Amino acid sequence: MAKLKTLQPRLKAIDTRRIKPVYGEARRISGSTRMNLKRRIYVRDSGHCCMCQRVVDLHSSELDHRIALQFGGSNNEDNLWTLCIECHRDKSLREVASGQPDSEALKHHVPAEDIGASVTIV
Ligand SMILES: [Zn+2]
């Protein structure tokens, strides 16, 4: 009978400035799905940063979209790679500064897939 309606107003205190309405394919991946994916991509990338090639630890590396979602990149594994924290930070800064996909990142390629046929080459 009681519907706990009193809890609802608390959910409205969200800063929406950073939230972009992204749907379908371009949806951000989160939670355990993201952790599993990160691990899988990390293994595919042989534990290396895809830009500077340094050896990185799983926990000190970051799963990144080579072409960011806001620039039309996809969540396909051929657009996902492992970056070290420094490369990821610099790449993000350049993307913000230029407002377009990072030209440095585009000089590097996502390692060839060898863990199954789940990738769609476009
Ligand atoms: Zn790096």
Residue pLDDT tens, the chain, 122 long:
556 665 555 556 656 566 555 555 556 777 788 889 999 999 999 999 999 999 999 999 999 999 999 999 999 999 999 999 999 999 999 999 999 999 999 999 999 876 554 545 44
pLDDT of residue 30: 77
pLDDT of residue 23: 55
Q: What is the dihedral of CA 52, 104, 69, 121, to 10 degrees?
A: -80
CA 24 – ligand 1 centroid, Å: 30
85 contacts 52 by C-beta, under 8 angstroms: no
CA 122 – ligand 1 centroid, Å: 26
pLDDT of residue 84: 98
Beta strands in 11-101 (DSSP E): 61-65, 80-84
CA 9 – ligand 1 centroid, Å: 43
pLDDT of residue 32: 84
The fold of the 30-106 domain, in CATH, is: His-Me finger endonuclease fold (3.40.1800)
pLDDT of residue 101: 97
pLDDT of residue 1: 57
CA 15 – ligand 1 centroid, Å: 31
Distance between CA atoms of residues 87 and 85, nearest Å: 6
For 97, the enclosing helix (H) or strand (E) is helix 85-98
